[in-house]
Amino acid sequence: MDNQEIAQAEVLSHIQRQPGRPGDPCVMCIFGAAGDLTKRKLVPALYNLRKAGLLANDFAIVGIAHNPMSNDEFRAKISQEIKQYAGEEVDPGIAGWFAERMYYLTAEFDSKDLYGKLKPFLGKIDKDHSTHGNYFFYLATAPDFFGPVVEQLAGVGLMEENNHSWRRVIVEKPFGRDLDSAKALNKKLLRVANEKQIYRIDHYLGKETVQNILAFRFANGIFEPIWNRRYIDHVQISVCETVGVEQRGSYYDKAGALRDMVPNHIMQLISLTAMEPPVSFQADAVRDEQAKILHAIQPLSSEEVLSRTVRGQYGDGNVEGHHAVAYRNEPDVPHESRTETFVAMKLAIDNWRWADVPFYLRTGKRLSAQNTHIVIQFRRAPFVLFRDTPVNTLMPNQLVLHIQPEEGISLQFAAKVPGSVMHLGAVDMSFEYADYFGTQPSTGYERLLHDCMIGDQTLFQRADMVEAGWCVVSPVLDVWKALPPRNFPNYASGSWGPKEAEELLERDGRRWRNFEK
């Protein structure tokens, strides 16, 4: 290491030793505490937060679900789940600490009775654990319950804040099924709660690599000057999955890939990539800039939906060496299903920075490799010096933000292949998170839960952002509904999606960048 590297390593290790302040004392009340999200994501995230010193000592959890369970059974279940999903050897001291502060209520979310009981129940826990009257309600429920649960909570006064206490609600996705239902849900929530109390979660914003898009763009002086239409040819955003619909067929078949991934996760990736620098890192300053980008995305006309979008559904095939069944043969999926499991689109952002720079996006299940990345492709160099080199062998510069499973950033550029003639080859300069910062177990929910406990809404979606995302998607949903697909299934499991997705870029003289394992 040279002196600069040693100095950098010291700074990094100093930063890593500063975890931030613990969340406020509070009770976390989970609606849907017996479900998958709670055990796979929320419980391990709470464990990791406690381990990092980011949970207040005065903290308690109340689980609510319709499954009959006593407090003790709930404690035993969560202790077991911590062991199963924490991703490392569990510290028995921490597991015991959680067991002492967990409570459970068996109830249907739509029963009036529940809310009458919940208020005194929370009141007692609040006293016993000195949580200062601070409660947050995590709605890990089916979306139909989001509005009614918050209305009922407000009805018994559980959303009322005073000078000394706060009340917040975290709403999971999907936030609406289209623009109208998202607007209706916002209206319902905002009738009984304040925007500052509503935390619309998108777990993509909990990913370190997604948050790093902002750091990369705005903490470095060298990228922002070239981050515009003058230097950038196009942007590709790919969220490729190898998994199928797993056990979620009944939800997924009503949603489809477009609703499931685009108005939320992919819109976040677009807005962070394309936004203007915010004036500060205050929640509303960042979200104002994100919202501006979402509003600047041009909704597609009906003709454009036909020429600029592609949908697909997986047939059977081979994924990572294993046979995979067709979507229509997955559990809880109708045999004639016309739901899309793949979508690709070409979008335009109508502002000075991005005019004429296409943003191509795609997402799909049962693809060849799991990979989420953003490719920024720069304009080609003028060919003056390399007249004899065929144009298609001159690789354009690409900057790739690798979100997952690889986490890092790479820059592709041309270098001279050693030898007596001038031949060019594409080479990569790359940075990997793990090399500098190591890896720590994380579910992606740690930061978001902690932010809710300290009242920071930067990484949560505001009402206008959610609606702007649906404005982009709604015209596509309408055209697709009017013209049901005739050729499904149209891609094999284990491929890179339907051939029309390749053609979408080929027509413009471009190609998707794929990363195999």
C-alpha to C-alpha distance for 114 and 153, rounded to whole angstroms: 10
**CB-based contacts of 114: which residues, under 8 Å, 6+ apart?**
64, 105, 107, 108, 152
| Binding track over 1-20 against ligand BG6, x by CB under 6 A | --------------------
Choose, by CB under 6 A, the member of 24, 126, 260, 451 that binds ligand BG6.
Answer: 260
Residue nearest to ligand BG6 (CB): 260
Three-state SS letters, 366-426? CECCCEEEEEEEECCCCCHHHCCCCHHHCCCCEEEEEEECCCEEEEEEEEEECCCCCEEEE
The amino acid occupying position 193 is: A
Nearer Cβ to ligand BG6 (233/260):
260
The first and second tokens of residue 468, run together, are 């702007």
197 or 372, CB closer to ligand BG6?
Answer: 372
Q: Which of 234, 265, 373, 402 is flagged as catalytic?
A: 265
Contacts of 126 (CB under 8 A, 6+ apart): 27, 60, 132, 133, 135
Asked if 272 contacts 210 with a C-beta cutoff of 8 angstroms, the reply is yes
User: CB burial class (10 A; 0-12, 13-18, 19+) of residue 345?
Assistant: buried
Residue 514 — φ and ψ, nearest 5°? -110, 140
Under rule CB under 6 A, which residues in 392-421 are in contact with ligand BG6? none
Rounded to whole angstroms, the Cα distance separating 121 from 60 reads: 12
CA–CA–CA angle 175, 259, 324 (5° rounding): 125
For the window 355-374, what string marks contact with ligand BG6 as x by the rule CB under 6 A? -----------------x--
Interface with ligand BG6 in residues 190-219 (CB under 6 A): 203
Q: According to the binding rule CB under 6 A, does residue 233 interact with ligand BG6? A: no
CB of 207 to ligand BG6, least distance (A): 7
Residues 513, 400: Cα–Cα separation, whole Å: 10
CB of 375 to ligand BG6, least distance (A): 17
When asked if residue 241 is in the footprint of ligand BG6 (CB under 6 A), the reply is: yes
Q: How far is 460 from 218, CA to CA, in rounded Å?
A: 20
Give least dist CB 95 to ligand BG6, A: 25
Smallest distance, ligand BG6 to C-beta of residue 173, A: 6
Contact pattern for ligand BG6 over residues 130 through 169, marking x by CB under 6 A? ----------------------------------------
Q: Is there a catalytic annotation at residue 14? A: no
Distance in angstroms (rounded) separating the CA atoms of residues 29 and 130: 15
Give the SS3 label for residue 164: coil
Nearest approach in angstroms of CB 381 to ligand BG6 is 35
Token pair of 75 as six digits: 């404690």
C-beta of 93: minimal distance to ligand BG6 in Å?
30
Q: Of the two residues 147 and 206, which places its CB atom closer to ligand BG6 in the complex? A: 206
Determine, following the binding rule CB under 6 A, whether residue 467 of this chain makes contact with ligand BG6: no
Looking at beta carbons only, is 260 or 406 nearer to ligand BG6? 260
Least Å distance between CB 380 and ligand BG6?
A: 32
Count interface residues toward ligand BG6 (CB under 6 A). Answer: 5
Tell the smallest beta-carbon distance from residue 203 to ligand BG6 (Å).
6
Query: What per-residue string of b and e applies to 108-141 under the rule 16 or more CB within 10 Å gives b?
Result: ebeeeebbeebeebbeebbeebebbbbbbbbbbb
Judged by beta carbon, residue 40 or residue 188, the one nearer ligand BG6 is 40
Cα–Cα distance measured from residue 376 to residue 223, given in angstroms and rounded to the nearest whole number: 11
β-partners of residue 373 are 238, 402
Residues within the interface to ligand BG6 (CB under 6 A): 173, 203, 241, 260, 372
Q: What are the catalytic residues?
A: 265
